[in-house]
């Protein structure tokens, strides 16, 4: 039995902050420090923006470490000083060198937002939704020198509903990620060995980072494929198209049209009575929430009332 488990946490965005919160509130767990990415500067005044993990750590008196790189060995003195039993990682954003992974007694354990070996890589939540998956989850896994290739400890599943988008799935997975790492703590504190299930590399898929070209809507695709793209990128960065006058139009919400399809080419606006109905390669979608160029998010019906789109227009990037 372990009375107190000393951990170091590594992470950066909101999902990582939720994990850190769960570990911080876990009885018997002592958070020695939080390692997060360097601060960003944003806006005209170049205001310094802290990561969500740093914000939480500072609010709760957790020491914060922000090495510019891990390749130069600058984190090693921190590890030697803190001597963590285990390093927990969630969406840190940098590859960990071998000497960091090998340092703690119980290893480096990552909460990855997919059911491995599917969707290894940087954008597992977005890719799972875009690909129309009905279920995803969190995998607690040992880190090794590969990209999300380490032995698996446990998995927690998360359903993806037809109305879910990136935000709703992300928020559920964030809670599950904290739960998964706390379950790992329970096993370690009970003095038991953690499970080690090797991944079947032949079943792996890669969830590469979302690039600008990945956000462009291709209305020649089936309606479901278009709707899944919109869901997987909402509320940010959003799927995009252009209006007939060439203005950028982000699509924040869309649904598959349940009515009969008009005889029109893909991308054609066939109805503007209930949002913006657009013909796809097969079927149609109704754009219900949009972000016009230079504007804030609005109902598509309001955009139509502003006379910015007309029946017969063709949306094409």
Q: What CATH number corresponds to the domain at position 35?
A: 3.40.50.170
- Tell me, yes or no, whether 135 lies in a domain: yes
23 shares a domain with 117: yes
pLDDT at 47: 84
- Tell me, yes or no, whether 311 lies in a domain: no
183 shares a domain with 117: yes
278 shares a domain with 184: no
Q: Cβ atoms within 10 A of the Cβ of 182, count?
A: 18
pLDDT at 261: 77
pLDDT at 199: 98
Q: How many structural domains compose the chain?
A: 2
Domain extent at residue 259: 212-305
Q: Looking at 149, 169, 203, which one is the last position of a domain? A: 203
- Tell me, yes or no, whether 64 lies in a domain: yes
142 shares a domain with 188: yes
Q: Looking at 143, 170, 203, which one is the last position of a domain? A: 203
271 shares a domain with 245: yes
Distance of CA 130 to the CA centre of its chain: 12
pLDDT at 93: 87
Q: How many CA atoms lie within 13 A of 134 on its CB side?
A: 0
- Tell me, yes or no, whether 310 lies in a domain: no
pLDDT at 223: 97
Q: What is the pLDDT along the chain (317 residues), one digit of tens a residue?
A: 888 999 999 999 999 999 999 999 999 999 999 999 999 887 777 788 999 999 999 999 999 999 999 999 999 999 999 999 999 999 998 889 999 999 999 999 999 999 999 999 999 999 999 999 999 999 999 999 999 999 999 999 999 999 999 999 999 999 999 999 999 999 999 999 999 999 999 999 999 999 999 999 999 999 999 999 999 999 999 999 999 999 999 999 999 998 777 789 999 999 999 899 999 999 999 999 999 999 999 999 999 998 789 999 999 99
168 shares a domain with 36: yes
- Tell me, yes or no, whether 91 lies in a domain: yes
Q: Minimal CA–CA distance to 106: which of 94, 123, 118, 89?
A: 89
What CATH number should be reported for the domain holding residue 278?
Answer: 3.10.25.10
186 shares a domain with 250: no
pLDDT at 84: 98
290 shares a domain with 181: no
280 shares a domain with 145: no
- Tell me, yes or no, whether 317 lies in a domain: no
- Tell me if the pTM is above 0.75: yes
pLDDT at 44: 73
153 shares a domain with 187: yes
Kindly state the tokens that stand for 309.
Answer: 């789109």
The answer to whether 128 touches 114, Cβ cutoff 8 Å, is yes
172 shares a domain with 218: no
132 shares a domain with 229: no
Q: Looking at 164, 185, 203, which one is the last position of a domain? A: 203
């Amino acid at each position: 039995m372990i009375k107190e488990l000393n951990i170091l946490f590594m992470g950066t965005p909101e999902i990582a902050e939720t994990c850190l919160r769960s570990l911080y509130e876990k009885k018997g767990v002592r958070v020695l420090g939080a390692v997060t990415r360097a601060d960003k500067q944003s806006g005209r005044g170049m205001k310094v923006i802290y990561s969500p993990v740093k914000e939480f750590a500072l609010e709760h008196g957790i020491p914060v470490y922000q090495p510019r790189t891990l390749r130069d060995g600058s984190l090693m003195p921190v590890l030697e000083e803190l001597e963590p039993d285990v390093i927990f990682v969630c969406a840190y954003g940098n590859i960990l060198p071998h000497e960091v992974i090998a340092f703690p007694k119980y290893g480096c354990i990552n909460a990855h937002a997919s059911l491995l070996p599917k969707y290894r890589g940087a954008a597992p939540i977005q890719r799972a939704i875009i690909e129309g998956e009905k279920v995803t989850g969190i995998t607690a896994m040992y880190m090794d020198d590969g990209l999300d290739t380490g032995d698996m400890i446990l998995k927690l599943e998360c359903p993806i509903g037809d109305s879910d988008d990136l935000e709703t799935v992300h928020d559920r997975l964030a809670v599950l990620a904290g739960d998964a790492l706390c379950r790992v703590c329970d096993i370690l504190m009970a003095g038991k060995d953690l499970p080690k299930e090797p991944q079947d590399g032949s079943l792996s898929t890669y969830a590469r980072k979302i690039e600008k070209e990945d956000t462009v809507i291709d209305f020649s695709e089936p309606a479901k494929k278009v709707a899944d793209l919109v869901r997987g990128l909402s509320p940010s960065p959003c799927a995009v198209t252009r209006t007939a006058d060439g203005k950028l139009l982000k699509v924040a919400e869309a649904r598959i049209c349940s009515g009969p399809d008009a005889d029109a080419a893909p991308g054609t606006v066939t109805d503007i009575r209930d949002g913006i109905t657009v013909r796809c390669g097969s079927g149609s979608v109704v754009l219900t929430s949009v972000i016009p160029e230079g504007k804030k998010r609005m109902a598509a019906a309001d955009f139509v009332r502003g006379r910015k789109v007309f029946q017969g227009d063709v949306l094409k990037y």
